[in-house]
């Protein structure tokens, strides 16, 4: 189950404002922020990967939900170290 970490109107880097901020199984986190000219989605798997994707207002919710779903599937899976590395590489290339 995703846990909502959202703090209304909290300012972040680049003077962005947090729109959504969630954590899954105390293992990964994803945050959507509105910056002055773009939206940024920053996600990470604790201890191994951090990635930021940039998108438009029209695409941000869809991209956020897709990234969130893939992160959840990754955390719920039982992968070898090589398979984890492959996931990270593919995820970063995709987003």
Give the pLDDT of residue 15.
75
For residue 31, give Cα distances in angstroms to 3, 41, 78, 83, 84: 12, 6, 25, 25, 21
User: Could you read off the pLDDT of 40-52 as tens digits, one per residue?
Assistant: 999 999 999 999 9
Please report, for the chain, the start and end positions of each structural domain, with discontinuous segments joined by +: 2-94
Residue 10 has pLDDT above 80, yes or no: no
Give the pLDDT of residue 6.
73
Pinpoint the alpha helices (H) of 8-80.
60-76
- Please state which of the ranges 6-10, 23-27, 34-38, 54-58 shows the lowest mean pLDDT: 6-10
User: Could you read off the pLDDT of 20-45 as tens digits, one per residue?
Assistant: 999 999 999 999 999 989 999 999 99
């Amino acid at each position: 189950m995703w846990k909502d970490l959202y703090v209304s109107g909290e300012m972040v880097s680049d003077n962005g404002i947090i729109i959504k901020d969630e954590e899954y199984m105390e293992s990964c986190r994803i945050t959507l922020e509105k910056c002055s000219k773009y939206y940024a989605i920053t996600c990470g798997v604790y201890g191994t990967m951090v990635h930021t994707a940039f998108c438009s207002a029209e695409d941000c919710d869809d991209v956020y939900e897709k990234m969130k779903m893939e992160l959840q599937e990754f955390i719920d899976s039982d992968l070898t170290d090589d398979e984890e590395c492959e996931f990270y590489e593919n995820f970063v290339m995709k987003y």
